Chains A and B, each alone.
Chain A
Amino acid sequence: MVKSAYQTVQAARSQDKITTEALIDGLVTDFFECHGDRVDGDDPTIIGGIGRLNGQPITVIGTRKGRNLTENVARHFGSPMPQGYRKVQRLLQQAEKFGRPVLTLINTPGAYPDVASEFHGQGEAIAQCLYQGMQLKVPYISLIFGEGGSGGALALACGDRVYMTVDSIYSVLSPEGYASIMWKDASRVREAAAALALTPQDLKREKVIDDILPEVHTAAELSQLADFLHEQFKILGKLPISTLIDQRQTRFDQY
């Protein structure tokens, strides 16, 4: 059955959605988490580190929501602060130094909108993620597996390949935000979801993403996803670095 746009929004936000931790556990072995941005703090909303994908060392970076209220308060319901985006930058640089491919896992309503984040340069932090991502000298794959909310998601979605799972969304702002800005009526959220063309099907048609992947829950499904990603990294890894970067930039040039 094909879901309506708003049903996809609900599925993307579902409590049953796989957590970023479970996704990392299921995809890589020997995961070593790296904390902190080396400047200012450690945003728990961004989890990042090194692990092996089917034996190959990769850098994994994800945004994560909480599994309970305590975690959600600490992680601002999955909305990263500038310290989180600077952790992303540090891990991208580290991956580049050691020639490790980068996998980003995205499930965020967007960057955290608060006064402290403004003071710490939320805009600059995201801008530098885009700037580094667009010229990163290693293969880079992005997977949106829940909410892909605006610039806060794009900061991690500059991959050579960008994928979405069936129950995920990716948009310039939330349907609630769109309804209230465009029509000054937050209750028209269903209409807004349709107008935003935020489903994986819409975005594949627009060539914003490369493909739609199945939802993963079981060990077998995770192992299939790991195989698929490993295969893609192998294909990307065969390209000379300059070709890789050219292709990535050309990919975004078409929009």
Chain B
Amino acid sequence: MLPAKFKTPSQKSLNRRMASIPDGLVRRCPVCHTTFLTDHWEPARLCPACGYGFRLTAMQRIKLTMDTFQETNAQLTVPDRYTDAAYQAKIARGRQLTGLNESVLTGFGTIDHQSTAIGVMDAFFVMGSLGTATGEKITRLFDEATAKQLPVILFTSSGGARMQEGIHSLMQMAKVSAAVARHSQAGLLYIVVLCDPTTGGVTASFAMQGDLILAEPHALVGFAGRRVIEQTIHQTPPADFQRAETVLQHGFIDAIVARPQLKQRLADLLRLHKGES
């Protein structure tokens, strides 16, 4: 008979041992496919091999970027008229994951003593899609910034239009564009930070209207999705065709800035536009 220490563990004890391993301890980078331990990856959440920044919630992004922050229009949410049960469930899940009432977090605050308006889209809320209230929050952010004569920094991260809200989602693209135009006419600075992923109607509107357009390394940035291209015109896109590095080469991004340097870079750019050294 074998000594007791070599006994096959009971199912109960296996379950207990499995439960003691934290979820997400090991992650696989979607870009370079390196598998790594996440025990030291907070707060920036980077792939140690290629520097890809994993998706953050809007709250995590604010903590990483802002020294002070005051949220605005926090209560704005999906209009009541969208009663579809499957959609309601998606919204409930989004709320639970992000602590937000819509796919964007907006407000005002400071980075290294520079005042700015800031908006952060949250890919964990119905894929960061452009709902009616998302468009409304971003529009208000620009208009409030125009009134306060402040720059706007917007972190984009979105699957595009929100299908469940139909034509009203599409109209947000025009609505936000008008608010960006009003802000720009006042001579104010608008910085976009393209985060993974920025696609569809968001790319085709405010994500591409910044005075300065930054991107995080390897972020997916594009209009039509890979699957749409493959299924509609039966073309196979190259592997890296919508990565930030490719989009920069084609002339649509000013600079790719790694997450650890992003805060300082934003502060420097804000300062440059105020004429301070």
Contacts and interface: CB of A to CB of B under 8 A. Distances in A.
Q: Does A pair with B?
A: yes
Nearest to A209: B167
A197 interface: yes
Nearest to B213: A124
What is the predominant secondary structure among interface residues of chain B facing chain A? helix
Given A170-B167, A206-B167, A255-B135, A131 B242 contact: no
Contacts of B175: 252-253, 255
B163 A150 contact: no
Q: Is the interface of A mostly helix, strand, loop or mixed?
A: helix
B177 to A, nearest CB: 4
A5 B71 CA distance: 42
Interface stretch (B7-15, B100-108, B228-236, B266-274): B228-236
B178 A135 contact: yes
A122 B241 contact: no
Nearest to B168: A255
B135 A182 contact: no
A54 interface: no
Contacts of A173: 161, 163
Residue with the highest number of chain A CB atoms closer than 10 Å, among B135, B175, B177, B250: B177
Contact of A117 (B170, B174, B206, B224): B224
Contact of B207 (A123, A151, A248): A123
Contacts of B233: 113-114
Nearest to B177: A130
Interface residues of B, number: 49
Given A196-B166, A252-B174, A119 B229 contact: no
A11 interface: no
A30 B174 CA distance: 32
Contact of A119 (B173, B228, B232, B250): B250
A130 B175 CA distance: 9
B251 interface: yes
A249 interface: yes
Contact of B167 (A119, A130, A134, A208): A208
A122 B241 CA distance: 13
A198 B203 contact: no
Contact of A197 (B166, B182, B201): B166
A253 B132 CA distance: 11
Contacts of B36: none
A154 B228 contact: no
B251 to A, nearest CB: 7
A138 to B, nearest CB: 15
A158 B132 CA distance: 17
A123 B247 CA distance: 11
B36 to A, nearest CB: 31
A28 interface: no
Given A115-B237, A126-B204, A178-B163, A131 B169 contact: no
B185 A135 contact: yes
Interface in B164-223: 164-175, 177-178, 180-182, 185, 200-201, 203-209, 221-223
Given A131-B180, A155-B204, A173-B163, 9 more contacts: A113-B223, A121-B252, A123-B221, A124-B203, A127-B209, A154-B173, A158-B174, A172-B167, A198-B166
